[in-house]
Chain A
Amino acid sequence: MEFIFYFGDVFTPINFGLLLIGTIGGLILGATPGLSPTMAVALLIPFTFQLEATQGLILLGAAYTSTVAGGAVSAILLKIPGAPANIATTLDGHTMAQNGQGTKALQLSFLSSAIGGIFGVMLLIFLTPVLAKWALAFGPSHLFWLAILGVTVIGTLDSKSVVKGLLSGCIGLWLATIGFDDIMGAQRFIFHDALGGGINIIAALIGLFAIPQVISMFAKGRQDEGAEVLEVQKHSILDAFRELLRFPRAMGIGMATGSIIGLIPGVGGQIAGLVAYDQTKKFSPDTEKFGKGHPEGVIAAEAANNAMVGPSLVPLLTLSIPGSPTAAVLLGGLLIHGIFPGSDLFDNHPDVAWTFINSMLIGQVLMCLFGLYVAGLAARVAQVPQSLMAAVVLGLAVFGSYSVQSSMGDVYVMAALGIMMYFLERFGFSAAPLVLGLILGPIAESNFIQGSMIANATDGMVPYFLTGGLNIFLIVVVVVSVAYSGWMELRSRRFVSKEELMV
């Protein structure tokens, strides 16, 4: 309970002011496509040179939590996920916004973000020593199976057909091989200079989600039926809260998945939202409502990606190993003040450590308040005429993909993938499984290569990959997940209605 003693420090005028700046700035940065949490935090590091250690960390902590949540804004309103963490939010969130329920979607997303986020930070406060052991338990073989588990999710994620879902997943896995491979340095499919570093995930996200939309908006032209003015429904915050309480299952699954996945170094928050979304869908009685603007989808995804924030810092704060790119940037923020994470941090600088953690806790609340305040205004974006909207989204897409690493190459990649996705969508393929393939491919590949190198030097492949409690557990989950997808596909084929056959 040591952390309570340091709550006062958060509320000194300077600290609280920085917390406000970090939170509001973080929301804006997060809502800008292309500015991922990692980049937002990295941009702020030079400012912390001038600040004291505690103050610097308050700024960084607040920015980290609120950029993750801010990404939901562009995901819901523009269908551009600001970071991989927000991919799952687009699936139901954007559909809700198109139905005029943008206010509700934003309110739900901020509320579930805050609750998930507080849960995650609480885990960080109370269970850090236990969780640290967990984080180390995942070696290459386990991460490989975990990635395979993610691949099995692909089939059932946001597609009408399992086969098409798996096919888009395969396209994603293939795209992931482009570039110099990270372990051997071999060159694969580099036909253009822009591809040397592989497909940048943020540029790909923007292209795959935003461009097909822009093209369809332009395709409608100035036809009158495309220009009908959408009624943006008002939605009170109290109602949003009640709505949230109606779906405790989505909330629970989101928080649990987010915190477990956030803990594992190297996998991080990229897939937390997607896995939580998929699990909630499988356990929900309203499976068929998902993807059509179902609140549960938004709640699960946002609860998960904010619950991941706290646990993702466990390996950094206890073992001094940054588990995610953002944690690596935070490590820099600590080192600049001569503070080494690990036992040194909690023993010799408890004021810094606990004030930092507390500021994330209070940052969640502030973020939620501001988010709810702007939700009503922001939802009006849906009323902007489509021809105008298309131009704005296109502009943001180019800006966002360029700003990732100041490279025109990323813009070309974004455009090419976007045009490809436009045609794929017309044939019933969907972007989410493709992106999941793109994210999981490198994780599976590098861990397999690393694992097999270790295995060949020690016990051999079979014992390394197939024995041990955690391996067997993960393999069983993979098998169950594949079987479930197969069963769903068979069942849905049996019940195909005439209406669907027409499509």
Chain B
Amino acid sequence: MKKLLAGAALAVMTLTGGAVLAEESYPERPLMLMVSYGAGGATDFQARIVTMTSGNEDALGMPIAILNKPGAGGRVGWNWLADQADADGYTLGAYNVPHFIAQSIKGGVSYGVDSFEPIANWGADPAVLVVGADSEFNTLQDVVDFATANPGKLTTSGAGLFVGHHIAALQMEKAGDFKMAYIPTKGGGAAAMKAVIAGEVLAGINNLSDAFRAREAGNVKILAVADLERNEFLPDVPTMKEAGLDVDNASVNFRGIMVPKGTPQPIIDKLAATVPTMFENGRVQGKMKAGGSPMHIMTREEVLAMWQKRQETLSELLAGL
């Protein structure tokens, strides 16, 4: 009996010792990053680039595999991460702010800012206002004047409801006290951009990276950036505030990595310390710049503050809808 007890005690000790060890030696096997958009989309594309050096010794030492769970504007993937994913540190998720916060405020999903723990932010893609290359609008003021004179007639395409583009449109309407006709397209930013180039709509709100490419191709004019500062890709384009509309950066599409709530704190700490340096890798930066994807690295503390701020701004903005 004594032997048995001793054996059990030993077993318990090894087990608990093992658990401590598991957190110290984390990660012991490859990790998985859930992306709630389809393969080939901007989020998926960037997630693949920023995680490509994860197997290096100075990063996590284990590769990160991308798992796509697309559907319903990201809701399917984030629902899965909140409800079904294992909080063992081996399941990570990519977040898009303001998308998932706006969706949680609108309701019908099983997540909110409190369902996840942010790790680090890798990118920030501001929304910009674009018009066709042959449009009569040349400045943000022209657009505002038209919308004020013709309430509800300014057709403006964007990638959907409760995404950054929609938030930017709502902020513009509030700041300039006018009404426009926001047209959400199915098929994301690409379809919204096509509507602008083909002249189906008078203006569009789109991602800075996509708009930058469309301008290089000679298809659109970019009138303003919905951010606090001018962007390095577009130094000649004014911010909304400079151009006369009091719009802040609430619509900027922040992308980063998070884990489900319940992931052990030591693992969160380890990830929060390692992941930002992984993003700073020279190869990652080079590939991101080549693809026209603006990087914006933020630590866990900064992201936590940013999430809270978005939650407040968006609750207020979406209250009337």
Contacts and interface: CB of A to CB of B under 8 A. Distances in A.
A330 to B, nearest CB: 8
B216 A136 contact: no
Interface stretch (B21-29, B181-189, B240-248, B297-305): B181-189
A46 B52 contact: yes
A41 B45 CA distance: 13
Interface string B202-226: 0000000000011011110000000
Nearest to A136: B198
B49 A197 contact: no
B161 A179 contact: no
Interface stretch (B3-11, B73-81, B111-119, B306-314): B73-81
Interface size class of B (residues with CB under 8 A): 35 or more
A319 interface: yes
A406 B38 CA distance: 12
B94 to A, nearest CB: 15
B106 interface: yes
A340 B162 CA distance: 29
A453 B76 contact: no
Interface string A219-239: 000000000000000000000
Contacts of B195: 139
A458 B155 contact: yes
Q: Which of A137, A406, A457 has the most CB of B within 10 A?
A: A457
B290 A458 contact: no
Contacts of A446: 185-186
Nearest to B293: A335
Given A185-B73, A336-B290, A343 B200 contact: no
A315 interface: yes
A331 B68 CA distance: 18
B291 A335 contact: yes
A7 interface: no
Interface string B138-156: 0000000000000011110
Interface in A393-416: 405-407
B73 A182 contact: yes
Interface string B107-141: 01000000000000000000000000000000000
Contacts of A185: 72-73, 75, 103, 106, 108, 160-162
A207 B101 CA distance: 35
A335 B183 contact: no
Given A332-B40, A450-B186, A457-B152, A193 B108 contact: no
B200 A457 contact: no
A6 interface: no
B190 interface: yes
Interface stretch (A281-289, A303-311, A320-328): A320-328
A478 B214 CA distance: 35
A337 B49 CA distance: 12
Contacts of A139: 195, 198, 200
Nearest to B103: A185
Interface in A173-210: 179-180, 182-185, 187, 193, 196-198, 200
A456 interface: yes
Q: Which of A180, A266, A315 has the most CB of B within 10 A?
A: A180
Interface string B40-82: 1100110011001000000000000001111111011001100
Given A266-B187, A337-B290, A342-B217, A321 B40 contact: no
A331 B217 contact: no
A329 interface: yes
A468 interface: no
Contacts of B92: none
B217 A340 contact: yes
A321 B186 contact: no
Q: Which of B108, B152, B160, B198 has the most CB of A within 10 A?
A: B198
B71 A454 contact: no
Interface in A407-453: 407, 442, 446, 450, 453
A336 B49 CA distance: 8
A415 to B, nearest CB: 19
Contacts of B152: 457
A140 interface: yes
Contact of A38 (B40, B69, B73): B40
Given A45-B48, A196-B76, A343-B217, A329 B292 contact: no
B183 A454 contact: yes
B193 interface: yes
B273 interface: no
Nearest to A442: B186
Given A321-B193, A342-B213, A197 B108 contact: no
B39 interface: yes
Nearest to B181: A457
B67 A180 contact: no
Interface string B79-94: 1100100000000000
A338 interface: yes
Contacts of B75: 180, 185, 196-197
Contacts of A183: 160-161, 184-186
A421 B287 CA distance: 47
B183 A453 contact: yes
Interface string B266-290: 0000000000000000000001011
Nearest to B183: A453
A42 interface: yes
Contacts of A322: 190
A405 B292 contact: no
B10 to A, nearest CB: 39
A141 to B, nearest CB: 9
A49 interface: yes
29 contacts: A180-B108, A182-B73, A183-B161, A185-B160, A185-B162, A197-B71, A197-B72, A315-B194, A319-B197, A319-B214, A320-B213, A320-B214, A325-B40, A329-B40, A332-B40, A336-B45, A336-B287, A336-B291, A340-B216, A341-B213, A342-B213, A342-B214, A342-B218, A344-B216, A442-B186, A450-B185, A450-B186, A453-B155, A456-B181
Given A139-B198, A180-B72, 19 more contacts: A45-B39, A140-B200, A182-B160, A183-B161, A196-B72, A319-B194, A319-B217, A319-B219, A326-B40, A328-B38, A332-B291, A338-B289, A342-B213, A344-B216, A405-B69, A442-B186, A450-B184, A457-B155, A458-B155
Interface of B: 38-41, 44-45, 48-49, 52, 67-73, 75-76, 79-80, 83, 103, 106, 108, 152-155, 160-162, 181, 183-187, 190-191, 193-195, 197-198, 200-201, 213-214, 216-219, 287, 289-293
